[in-house]
Chain A
């Protein structure tokens, strides 16, 4: 089982700051795209059993719109940009003027949301790369509209090989009147945490 016992308050604070900086830049990008004010919550850093990961976004069966990308480079991991169905509809409308519900989406709508997700996750990742001075590259992003459990489990396979728990950095954001709300999830691979910590000069001798 992965050893999380060496995590102290300081390590948690650092991971929260990673969420803060990354999602902060992404929220700024979203705010520019929508020309609206975007607020975000304090990032939640959790060490939770696999089963509970989907609970953060309404449960395993809750249908969500997700842009997923694999983080490659010095500190690999998985990143998810997750919206509920109504938020995805509103976001698309705000940015492109298209007013179709998720069920009516065709190639154009999917492609537009794909690109929005790409921009936002890209700003999260590039700010993280600047901040840590690590080489981090996004894979081509993928978009899926499906059960949260089925989608988020994609972020857990690397972790599954070393333990039964996931470390997630989850930042929720919302537009002023709550028409658009969603989450950014960063799930670092097990081997990436020591690298992240070292890049920031944080002492860490755990074998996560």
Chain B
């Protein structure tokens, strides 16, 4: 069984029996898509909400919610997935330092979650599970055989959605 590691601002697609994993999500959001019929899984580690925030040059596709999600869908379609069968799960978007809540840049977690939801809505993909917000870091792992998402935090242990 292969575990494919997804880095920050990166994305990837897997087929059974591989797993997709990303570590240390803070206010970044882990977006996972799964097509149960064709058994194709995808994961993106989104760092910022909108590609319009990019200040110079070509934005890195995987970094922004509004570019990462459409691109992830495309990559999954190349592997035989169909958008009609895709469902989404979200994890992350925490606010690690509560006191900074007033600063727009520091409220990045909730903004990332909102932007992911908007992009998923645009693609008409249903969100079936969500573990977002709070003030803890998360590590997530997606099983491409069944679409189960494992979420690990420091204080609350491991849960599956």
Contact = CB atoms under 8 A, between A and B. Distances in A.
Interface of A: 1-2, 49-51, 54, 59-61, 63, 68, 70, 139-140, 142, 144-151, 153-154, 156-158, 160-164, 190
20 contacts: A1-B57, A50-B47, A60-B23, A140-B99, A142-B97, A144-B135, A149-B24, A149-B26, A149-B137, A150-B24, A150-B27, A150-B137, A151-B26, A153-B8, A153-B27, A153-B28, A153-B47, A154-B26, A160-B63, A164-B9
B54 A147 contact: no
Interface stretch (B11-19, B65-73, B100-108): B100-108
Tell me whether chain B's interface is mostly helix, strand or loop, or mixed: loop
A160 B9 contact: yes
Contacts, number: 101
Given A51-B8, A146-B154, A147-B137, A153 B97 contact: no
A145 B53 contact: no
| Chain A interface mostly | mixed
Contacts of A157: 27, 47-48, 105, 108
Contacts of A146: 26, 96, 136-137, 154
A173 B18 CA distance: 41
Contact of B97 (A2, A51, A144, A163): A144
Nearest to A164: B60
B90 interface: no
Contacts of B48: 157, 160-161
B96 A54 contact: no
Nearest to A143: B97
A96 B94 CA distance: 31
Interface in B127-148: 135-139
What 10 A-B pairs come out closest when comparing CB atoms? A149-B24, A150-B137, A150-B26, A142-B97, A60-B24, A147-B137, A51-B7, A60-B23, A146-B137, A147-B24
